[in-house]
Structure formats: C-alpha cells, structure tokens
Amino acid sequence: MIWLASFPRSGNTFTRNILNDVYGQPSSEFHLQTEYGVEDNYETFPVVKTHLLPDQVIPNDPKIPVVYLMRDGRDATVSMAHHTADIVKPGTDFMQNMMETIIAAEGSHFGGWSVNALQWIRRADVVIRYEDLVRDPIGQVEKFRKILKMPKGNPENLPTFKKLKASKNPYGVRVSAKTQISGVANKFFRKGKSGAWKEEMRDDMHELFWSQHGEVMDLVGYHRDGTWASEEEFQKKIAFIKKMHLTDKPKKRILIEAGKLVDEHRDGVNRYVFSLCKAMDNLQKQKGKFTHLDIDLLVGGEIVPLQQDLKISAREVKPNWVENTKSKIKGALPGAVYDPLRQLYLWSPARKVLEKQRLAIRLVTERKNLIESSKVFAEYDLIHVTLPQNYHYFRLMKDHPFVVTIHDMTHKLFPQYHLKANIRNAENGMQFFKKIDAHLLTVSEATRKDMIADTGVSKDKTSVVLEAADEERFNHIFDEKILNLVLDKFGLVGEQYFFSLATLEPRKNLKNTLNAFLKLKEKYPDSKIKFVLAGKAGWKEKLNISHPDILAIGYVPDEDLSALLTGATGFCYVSKYEGFGLPLLESMRCMTPVIYGNNSSMKEIVKDNGLPADPDDLEQIAAQMSLLAFDEKIRKEFSEKGFLRAIELSWEKTASETLALYESLT
C-alpha cells in the first residue's frame, strides 16, 4: 500500500477517482472520524487516503511510500470553510470556519495547513501540486508509477469536475457510510480551479492567513499576489525543504527557568513563559527548526524536558518537624487547653531558640541545595531566567552565561505601586544579573531604555524581543450563536459596552478611566452604553462602582475573553505605565478598537492603530470613548487597523528570535 496524503480540499478525492476510473486502482482511507468507521481491510488496498499527520497514521511505518498532494493554502482554507458550513456542520458561520481553519488551535484541522504540508513533504516520495493536477491530471497521476505498480491507463475515462458534481462517484462526500446525494456532491466538488480564494477571502483574513502560513507559502512557491512558481521551480523548492530541517550544528543545552508555569494566577509573566515555551516546542517539533538546541525547563525546583503539554504541577511542600510537632499537639489537645499553651509558647524564650535553630537549619540546607543545584545547572550552555526575582536559584553561579527577561521597571519607576518585599527582591535580582554580566532581554524598546537609564548597563548587553497575543486564545468571534452563549453569562447580549481587563491596582489607572466614563454618561444621559470591568482584586485600589452602568464581573476565564472583547465597543487600557501591554494586543486580535495610555511601551506596541489618551486627563479619555461609542466609521477604522497590527506579532516570531539569541550567546 501507499499513503495518499493531503491537507483537506487539496484534490485527494479527485485523484482517487482518476486512479479508479482511468487505472482501475481502488483505494481506501484512514481517518479518526466517529461518524463512520475505517474499512476493516483498508491496508489491503493499493492506495490509502489520509489527512492526518504522519505520526497519526496506522501503520506508522516510515517504509510505506507516500504521495502528498499540495494546494495553495488559501484555496484549501476557503474551500474547507465552505465544506464545514455546507456539509460537516451545516449552518455554521463561513467566516468563523475560515478563521478557525487558519488558526488551527491546539493542533486541530489536521495541524493547520503549513504544519501538515511541512511534515508530509519531509516524509513524501512524490509531491504533486493541485494546480498542476488540474492542468494535467493524467500527467501528474502518472508520477505514482515511481512508487506504485499501475496498469496502462484509459484517458477516455478521465472524470471531470463537472461530471463529479453531477453524478454519484466511487469516492466523494458521504451522507451516510454508503449513500451519496447529487445535491451534496455539487457542494463537495465546488469549483475545481486555482485562485478562487481571491473571490471570498477578505483582506483581513488574507493578512491573518499570511501571518500564520506565509513562511511556508513562500517556501513552496505560492506568492502573496496569487501567482505560483513553475512546476520545475516548485520541485526544487520541495527538495530544499526535505533538507532544510537537517543541521550539522553542534548540540547546545539550554535551561529555561519556568517557575511561573505553576503560578495559579494567569498574569503577564505567566502568559509570557507559557506561550514562549509552547511556541519553541512547536518550532522544534512541527517545523524542525532549532533542533540542535536541547531545551529543559526548571519548574518548581525540578528539571523537566520542554514539552508541548505544559500542564506541570508544583511539588508538594512537606512541613518541617516544628510544624509537624505543632500540628500533632493541636490535634491531641482540646481548644481550651491548646489555646492558652499556644499563647504561653508565643511569649516564651523557647520560641526564639527554636526559631534560631530553624533558621540555621534552613540556611545550611539551602546552601547545600544551592551547591548541588549549581553543579547541575553548570552542565547547561546557557540559562534563561524569565523573571529576575528568581535569581536565588543561581546565587552561587558567578561565571556562567545567562539571559534574563526584564518585563518592566515598575519597581523603580513606581515603587508606590509595589510591596516593599517585591521591590527588594526585584532590585536584588537586577543587581545580581548585572554583576555577573548576564545578557538582558526586554519585551519592548521602552523597557530597555528605562532599564539602561536606571542600571547603566551597556546597550550591547541587551536585546529586545516583542511579545504577542496568543493566536489560539484571542480571536474575533464571527458566529453570533457562539458569541451570545458567552455574553449571556454576563447579561450582555445586545448591550453596548466598554471593556477593561486588568488587575485592580493603581498603576492601571482604573479610577480615572471610570471617572471619564461617568463624564461621558453625564454628557450623553440618554446613552445606554455600559462599562464592564474584569479582573481580580489587587492592592491599594478602591473603586467607585456604584453606578448602575458600571459592571464589575471579577476574574474571567480565558475561554470567555474573546467573546467579551469581540462584543465590546472598545477596550479601555489607559494605564500609567506598561512594560509591554499584552491585553491591548489581545483586544486588537479580537478586532476590538483600543483606547490606551499615551506613554511607555504602549505607544510602541499600538502605534497609530488605537486611540491614545493622557492617563490624567479625564476629558481626553472621555472624548476618545465618545468617538468609539458614537462614530461607527472611526470604530470600524480602528478595529481593522488594530487587528492588522496585532497579527504582525506572533509567538512563533517571539520564540524564533529568542532561540536565535540563544544561538548567538552560546
């Protein structure tokens, strides 16, 4: 048998009908669908169709020959979106289907077009392009002879798309396991031509597609303008891709301090570490890049390999002997006896003696652990510390290559917004890594300037790598049914509202933002627009949310955020300072226009694709709210501009630039 593999809607069924009608070669298929089962004897057929990735097929034998069919990913995406709306999930939204196909979240949609193409090209013995197949069906199918014994064909039996659309065929759409209906076949075999994406793929969706798959499109010779390379040039590009992932570079070991992965709070640093590690893993496993870098993670005091499933749990911390003893005494005595004894213990000299003993034991133990850990850490060529506050793991390592991510300088610029312990820890970390000459990686140019101004570190010891919004978690929701399912949870179906997402702390400037909204309500008393405030409680911030049109909904899980952002008139993030400002990009990916603080990194990240405001100027904030609330043209303009800016940045790009930095430092 041979595998006939492709991303869906790339001519696989057309090819099977040619093999059957012209050459008398029957075929089967292998899939993971539950609607109908796999044929029991599929392995006995000369040809077996699949859309799955190479490591998902059974038998997963690399000796089995492969023909891979490739089509312009834009045509395949548009056709797949129609196929889903017409046949797989009738009545679903075409644009929603298109976006989901482009994003291919969590490896859905057969890995996504570019991943499917790269993995099968490296595995395939023969690669046939759909555009060539449509132009010369017999000539292209004749290429099967390289790996498949076939009788002489009868070209007179060549099926055409017109015939396939109008009649029942051996291979095609299934209404049940055995039945076909011509009306459905008409939808299944849609156009059979190349470049049809130009008619139905909106400009913003084309930009989204290119941001996700443009690199591979370029590699195989599909051009942005809709043209494609000659067949000869295409085959040269395929040969190049087969060799591309092979490297003779020496192996390097990298350790990433990733303690934030076990933090229960999904703050900005947690998102950074999670998304960076996941993108690195995808680059290595799916695209075969930087495979000479062997990456481990330091999580909760343990070293684990970089893995795509980053659901890592913290180790259980066992109580020391003092705590064990106290717990046993408390459990053995009634409260009336234990409480007076506890008070006596708190004021007795015995407590101080025990505390000194406990401190001495802890210091000795910590020192011993640090010495042992340092020996293990020294085996790595480079260590990446993702939060300078976690310097304590590496206190004994003076002469070792480090790269450290600096997220912001708020502990120095706005100490009033921090606890003293956090300021001290952050500054100790900064000074330690400066002293050992670590390379400092900032998430924005603004943060780099602030850091250099404060620390005096040389610019050549710094780099800037921008973050991105998570392209799987944050996207505009086109399907109103899906949108309203979430909005209904918060009583927002049909409501017009501004949205804000932030930890409730003074730096986020929520007090002024809400007061500006109240000014808007005073100026337009008949307006029904609301302000929805999401986020967990922070510190040093008391907000007046007594107005009936201000809704505080607290912490919102990630799965609900895209809908809340999509449904919003505008996203308000008029912060006084940001090291990056990730929520702005997350909103812009959802096509929601943003009002942002005209300072720090926010000017750099948003640029002219949102509405800036002075955080201390209530009138200016209110004026920008007014533009979005009552001017549909402005709202649409900044929705489109913001989206295009957001998709310029991606975690794959962030990971690629970070891995390239690792290479330069080892």
**pLDDT bucket at 173, cuts 50 / 70 / 90:** low
Give the burial class of 254: count Cβ atoms within 10 A of its Cβ; 0-12 exposed, 13-18 middle, 19 or more buried. buried
User: For residue 642, what are the domain limits?
Assistant: 480-649
> Are 634 and 574 contained in the same domain?
yes
Model confidence at 406, pLDDT cuts 50, 70, 90, reads: very high
Rounded distance between C-alpha atoms, residue 644 and residue 626, angstroms: 23
| Burial bucket for residue 518 (CB in 10 Å: 0-12, 13-18, 19+) | middle
Place of tokens 């555009």: 131
Please report whether residue 475 resides in a domain: no
What DSSP line would sit under 518-560, residue for residue? HHHHHHSTT---EEEEE--B-SS------STTEEEEE---HHH
CATH of the domain at 463: 3.40.50.2000
Do 184 and 65 lie in one domain? The reply is yes
127 within some domain: yes
Whole-number average pLDDT of the chain: 88
Does some domain include residue 569?
yes
Are residues 137 and 265 both part of a single domain? no
Q: What is the mean pLDDT of residues 291-300?
A: 92
Length of the chain: 666
- In this prediction the pTM is 0.85
Name the residue among 437, 413, 433 with its Cα closest to residue 423.
413
Cis preceding linkage at 250, omega within 30: no
Assess if residue 473 is contained within a domain. Answer: no
Beta bridge partners of 403: 384, 439
Are 12 and 80 a contacting pair, CB within 8 Å?
no
In a domain, 239, yes or no: yes
> Which tens digits make up the pLDDT trace of 379-395?
999 999 999 999 989 99
The CATH number that applies at residue 147 is: 3.40.50.300
Read off the pLDDT band of 602 (50, 70, 90): very high
Q: Is residue 325 part of a domain?
A: no
In 302-459, the DSSP E strands lie at 302-305, 382-385, 402-406, 439-442
Number of domains in the chain: 3
Q: State the chain's maximal CA–CA distance in angstroms.
A: 103
Query: What pLDDT band is residue 24 in, cutting at 50, 70 and 90?
Result: very high
Do residues 404 and 428 touch, judged by C-beta distance below 8 A?
A: no
Q: What is the mean pLDDT of residues 152-157?
A: 93
Residues 488 and 399 in one domain: no
Do both 502 and 418 map to the same domain? no
Element (H, E) at 498: strand 497-501
Which strand (E) or helix (H) includes residue 367? helix 349-377
Confidence of residue 328 (pLDDT cuts 50, 70, 90): low
Among candidate residues 210, 244, 278, the one where a domain is terminated: 244
Taking CA atoms, 510 is separated from 138, 201, 554, in Å, by: 67, 39, 14
pLDDT band at 262 (very low <50, low <70, confident <90, very high): confident
Lowest mean pLDDT among 63-72, 259-268, 285-294: 259-268
| CA 184, chain centre distance (Å) | 36
- Token couple for 657: 């630039």
Q: In what order do the strands lie in the sheet with 27-29?
A: 27-29, 47-50, 2-6, 66-70, 126-129
What residues contact 635, with CB distance under 8 A and at least 6 apart?
Answer: 569, 570, 593, 627, 628
- Do residues 587 and 642 share a domain? yes
190 and 272 together in one domain: no
What share of residues in the chain are helix, strand, coil (percent, to 5)? 50, 15, 35
Domain termination residue (choose one: 244, 270, 294): 244
Q: Are residues 432 and 511 in the same domain?
A: no
Contact 241, 118 (CB under 8 A): yes
Contacts of 499 (CB under 8 A, 6+ apart): 532, 534, 564, 565, 568, 570, 571, 572, 587, 592
Whether 410 and 463 map to the same domain: the answer is yes
> Is the link from the previous residue into 59 a cis peptide, with omega within 30 of 0?
yes
The owner of tokens 């505009």 is: 476
Q: Is 629 in the same domain as 487?
A: yes
**pLDDT beyond 80 at 363:** no
Task: Kindly state whether residue 333 falls inside one of the protein's structural domains.
Answer: no
Same domain, 291 and 399: yes
Q: What amino acid occupies position 665?
A: L
Q: Give yes or no for a contact between 46 and 25, defined as CB atoms under 8 angstroms apart.
A: yes
pLDDT attached to residue 302: 87
362 domain-assigned: no
Q: Which of 244, 275, 295 is the last residue of a domain?
A: 244
Q: Are residues 189 and 220 in the same domain?
A: yes
In sequence order, what are the beta bridge partners of 594?
571
CB atoms within 10 A of CB 286: 19
